[in-house]
Amino acid sequence: MAGEPVNVNEFEELAKEALPKMNYDYFSGGAEDEYTLKENVEAFKRISIQPRILVDVSKINMSTTILGYKTSSPIMIAPTGLHKLAHPAGEIATARAAAASDTIMALSFASSCTLEEVASSCNAVRFFQLYVYKRRDVSELIVQRAERNGFKAIIVTVDAPRFGRREADIKNKMIIPPMANLKGVISHEVVSDKGSELQAYVSATKDASLSWKDIAWLKSITNLPVLIKGVLTSEDALKAVEVGVSGIVVSNHGARQLDYSPATITVLEEVVSAVQGKIPVLVDGGVRRGTDVFKALARGAQAVMIGRPVVYGLSAKGENGVKTVINMLKDELELTMALAGCCTVKDITRQHVRTEHDRHRCRI
């Protein structure tokens, strides 16, 4: 690419140039036809922003609180696995960039650096993402380690009872890279010599029997707030409130699990309405611009999480790349707020965006 990237999409190109094909395909890929992968991004484009004029926007304040933790903007780092496939410094670089930009980071259960290494290398507010294994004792041990090491919340991912079918990984015979948190706890044996070894490994270890009643178990093994990641319907949002979780992440796992699940921005509002402000609702999937962050906030999200752009920043330029990606999104959000006439995140309302459905209603 000629010159330095000017937006986060351009980091994808740099990451592609920097990485071996197997690694890039793992990061960028989605499930099956990758319909939802495209839709996550496209659905944002179908929403327009309705600006207000002649508002004094000489001072813009993007700061907010998430679960009571102050943060510089409503942008968080989503949990993504295996950062050493992007850069040798792995999640330590990502976490340092999060700390430098006063951004909350969610660390993946499947990280390449241990949660202890990440905790001791930066003072960012950190949440921990959990996968529940058949060996419940393994998950329990890791939750305890996260709690001891100052992580502030557990985000349990519930959209992956089995691993999605990622065809690029199958073609590449994706390996099982070391997952540092599991070292000495459970072995990474190769369980398949066909297709994606990672997929075979995950299918062999994850507990596909995990169900609503198990949230009580999870709450009983930790004092940390438990958030549930992977909600896409109002029915499940209501159940999540009922079982007493502390927050919801509207997510389709970056379109890596169930293809043809809805683009997250299209279902955010139904989840927000069901929850009625009882618990915070976060959203991820396809956020690539400050305008996307603005749209998600207007439709009721408290914050957004960013997956692939962070990994692309890390792949292209390590810690500095992640910092640049976060800062680009923050700068774009600040500009969007100014041009839309919103000085604080609380000023961003449903009336600041218009969906296709709204436009249709206006016509009839």
Ligand X SMILES: Cc1cc2nc3c(=O)[nH]c(=O)nc-3n(C[C@H](O)[C@H](O)[C@H](O)COP(=O)(O)O)c2cc1C
Q: Is 229 in the site for ligand 7N5 (CB under 6 A)?
A: no
Rule CB under 6 A: say whether 78 interacts with ligand X. Answer: yes
Among 30, 81, 90, 300, binds ligand 7N5 (CB under 6 A): 81
By C-alpha distance, which of 325, 296, 329 is closest to 311? 325
Nearer to ligand X, 229 or 299 (CB): 229
Q: How many residues bind ligand 7N5 (CB under 6 A)?
A: 6
Q: Is the Cβ of residue 163 or residue 342 nearer to ligand X in the bound state?
A: 163
Q: Which does 202 bind (CB under 5 to 8 A by kind): ligand X, ligand 7N5, none?
A: ligand 7N5
- SS3 call for 344: strand
Is 5 a binding residue for ligand X by CB under 6 A? The answer is no
**Residues annotated as part of the active site:** 253
With CB under 6 A as the contact rule, the residue among 16, 84, 96, 308 that binds ligand X is 308
Residue, CB closest to ligand 7N5: 81
The only residue of 75, 89, 107, 110 in contact with ligand 7N5, by rule CB under 6 A = 110
Query: x/- string (CB under 6 A) for ligand X, residues 117-156?
Result: ------------x---------------------------
Long-range contacts: 114-118, Cβ < 8 Å, 24+? Answer: 114/180, 114/181, 114/183, 115/142, 115/145, 115/146, 115/149, 115/151, 115/181, 116/145, 116/149, 117/91, 117/92, 117/180, 118/91, 118/92
Output the smallest distance, CB 8 to ligand 7N5, in A.
19
CA atoms of 100 and 92, how far apart (whole Å): 12
Nearer CB in complex with ligand X: 110/245: 110
Using rule CB under 6 A, residue 199 touches ligand X:
no
Q: Which residues have CB under 8 Å from 44's CB, separation 6+? A: 263, 265, 286, 287, 288, 289, 291, 292, 295
String marking each residue 234-253 x if it binds ligand 7N5 according to CB under 6 A: -------------------x
User: 172 with 21: CB under 8 angstroms?
Assistant: yes
> Does 256 engage in binding with ligand 7N5 (CB under 6 A)?
yes
Contact between 40 and ligand X by CB under 6 A: the answer reads yes
Kind of pairing, strands 64-66 and 69-71? antiparallel
Q: How far is the CB of 353 from ligand 7N5 (least distance, A)?
A: 29
Is-contact 344 43, C-beta < 8 A?
Answer: no
Binding residue (CB under 6 A) for ligand X from 94, 101, 114, 157: 157
Least Å distance, CB 81 to ligand 7N5, is: 3
Q: Is 84 in the site for ligand 7N5 (CB under 6 A)?
A: no
Based on CB atoms, which residue is closest to ligand X, 67 or 155? 155
Q: Which of residues 248-307 bind ligand X (CB under 6 A)?
A: 251, 253-254, 256, 284-287, 306-307
| Smallest separation, CB 349 to ligand X (Å) | 24
Show contacts with ligand 7N5 in window 191-210 (CB under 6 A): 198, 202
Q: How far is CA 353 from CA 52, 58, 275, 299, 350, in A?
A: 11, 22, 21, 8, 6
Give DSSP secondary structure letters for 119-153: HHH--S-EEEEE--BSSHHHHHHHHHHHHHTT---
**By the 8 A CB rule, do 247 and 280 touch?**
yes
81/262 with CB nearer ligand 7N5? 81
Strands (E), the chain: 48-49, 64-66, 69-71, 75-77, 105-107, 126-130, 154-157, 226-231, 247-250, 281-284, 303-306, 353-354
> Which residue matches tokens 């958030």?
227
Binding site for ligand 7N5 (CB under 6 A): 81, 110, 198, 202, 253, 256
Binding site for ligand X (CB under 6 A): 27, 40, 78-81, 108-110, 129, 157, 229, 251, 253-254, 256, 284-287, 306-308, 311
